[in-house]
Chains A and B, each alone.
Chain A
Amino acid sequence: MSSKLPKQKYSDLEYVSCIKNESVQRDLANVCFDYYFLYYKKVVHMDSWKVDIFQDSFSELWLELTEGDIYISNNNEICHKIWKTGETRKLECSLLTYFMSIAKNIYLAKFATRREISMTDWQSMRENSDDNSNEDFYSLKIAKDTVPTNNLKDEVVGNSVDSMSTRCRQILTLFYWEALSLDEILEKIDDISTKDALKTKKSKCMLTLEERVNKGLIQIGLKPYTKQKKNNNGYQ
């Protein structure tokens, strides 16, 4: 898979250290796209998912870089921290190869969380599978048992986030991802005027999200999160 690499403007070390710079992000996205375009058929067997898988995989790589899961050690080596276990390892492959492994995991998780696959998709998978990879193709049927639970939970939460209203997603993104204060969020949202109204809206959005996540987890046979209870005033 590493026989043909797209030309990189920056080294892997530079990508890791300067990922907050938007032009570096964009360049990395271009390089990842070129690499993905060359090899995606070996990883993603459903053509209709190729764009989604690319976008999700790059977002995940970017997330790991910005969150410090991938970082530069004192020895000037790129290291990788495994989310949840906290274990740290030296990254033995290039960022592009790592990116493709993310794409493969996301594809398997996406596959495992979709219960119904259309005949067209099956046909497409068969046609795109290499002759010598039939074993991999059939093993996708039991992907749910082999994909790590955290990947599956991420996929379910990701789907639930995508299915939310734009307003809810905006409020939750500003609050949890950008970590803005309620006053700062109020300045960005026109139709909510008070802090209490914003707090209530945020709680309602979280409750809706939790319901959808739990439904998704039950569908694929995973344990749902403890359901939040409504208090006397409505939502928490």
Chain B
Amino acid sequence: MDTNKQDLIDRFIRKELSEEEESNFKKTLIEDQEASENIELLEHTRRRLGARAMKDKLISWGFTEEKFQKEETTQSNKQIKLWVGLSAAACLVLIFMFNVPDNNSATDQLDNYNPPSFESPTVTDSLQSQPEITDSITPSKNELIDSLQSIMKNL
């Protein structure tokens, strides 16, 4: 294939030909199998190069194996949380179902429980009820003399 034809093919692939040039060029392709195949290959190549450029962009954006692993970990953690939640809910349901109520049950006891009334004595009351200290520990002078006299008599 000569250089001029290759240049023409390149311009065709790069969409640089005018409408008239393109129309004339397409007519020549009907009988030129080599050029047709070259164009087909170049068109595939051009698209794959574009796709490859996007693939590089995706990698730079982080759409790699690591993102899959991260997503898998997140999903796995979500599943674990879901299972734990479901198990807990199931346990509560089982406890509720098998816990037959009776008279001695804690709930009944709680319901029947009457707390004793408790009235704290007022401060003044308690103080008034106490005996006077002076009366009890300070006997009069006469009482002391009488006591001594009786002790002496007994001696």
| Shortest Cβ distance from residue A211 to the other chain B in the assembled complex, whole angstroms | 11
Q: Is B64 among interface residues, defined by CB-CB distance under 8 A?
A: yes
CA distance A9 to B51 in the complex (A): 24
User: Which B residues, 9 to 52, have Cβ-Cβ distances below 8 Å to chain A?
Assistant: 10, 13-16, 33-34, 37-38, 40-42, 44-52
A179 touches B16 (CB 8 A): yes
B34 touches A226 (CB 8 A): yes
Partner of A26, one of B13, B37, B61: B61
Known contacts A55-B59, A173-B53, A225-B40; A63/B45 CB under 8 A = no
CA distance A226 to B58 in the complex (A): 34
- The stretch of A120-128, A133-141, A155-163 in contact with B is A155-163
Cβ contacts A200-236/B at 8 Å (1 or 0 each): 0001001001100100000000000110110000001
- The stretch of B65-73, B88-96, B137-145 in contact with A is B65-73
CA distance A213 to B45 in the complex (A): 10
Q: Which residue of chain A has its CB nearest to the CB of B59?
A: A55
Q: How many A-B residue pairs have CB under 8 A?
A: 99
A154 touches B48 (CB 8 A): yes
CA distance A56 to B51 in the complex (A): 7
B37 touches A154 (CB 8 A): no
Chain B contacts for A179, CB-based, 8 A: 14-16
Q: Which residue of chain B has its CB nearest to the CB of A38?
A: B75
Q: Is A88 among interface residues, defined by CB-CB distance under 8 A?
A: no
B45 touches A161 (CB 8 A): yes
Chain B contacts for A209, CB-based, 8 A: 45
B34 touches A161 (CB 8 A): no
Q: Which residue of chain A has its CB nearest to the CB of B54?
A: A59
Chain A contacts for B14, CB-based, 8 A: 175-176, 179
A62 touches B54 (CB 8 A): yes
| Shortest Cβ distance from residue A100 to the other chain B in the assembled complex, whole angstroms | 16
Chain A contacts for B41, CB-based, 8 A: 157, 210, 213, 225
Known contacts A157-B45, A161-B48, A172-B45; A29/B68 CB under 8 A = no
Q: Is A15 among interface residues, defined by CB-CB distance under 8 A?
A: no
Partner of A50, one of B33, B38, B40, B68: B68
A173 touches B1 (CB 8 A): no
B67 touches A229 (CB 8 A): no
| Shortest Cβ distance from residue B86 to the other chain A in the assembled complex, whole angstroms | 20
Chain B contacts for A236, CB-based, 8 A: 1, 3, 6
| Shortest Cβ distance from residue A122 to the other chain B in the assembled complex, whole angstroms | 21
9 contacts between A and B (CB under 8 A): A29-B63, A51-B65, A59-B55, A172-B49, A173-B53, A175-B14, A176-B46, A177-B50, A226-B33
A50-B68, A62-B51, A62-B54 given; 13 more Cβ-contact pairs under 8 Å: A25-B57, A51-B65, A55-B58, A59-B55, A59-B58, A157-B45, A161-B52, A173-B49, A177-B46, A177-B50, A206-B45, A210-B41, A225-B37
Q: A residues bordering B, Cβ < 8 Å?
A: 25-26, 29, 33, 37, 50-51, 54-56, 58-60, 62-63, 66-67, 153-154, 157-158, 161-162, 169, 172-173, 175-177, 179, 203, 206, 209-210, 213, 225-226, 228-229, 236
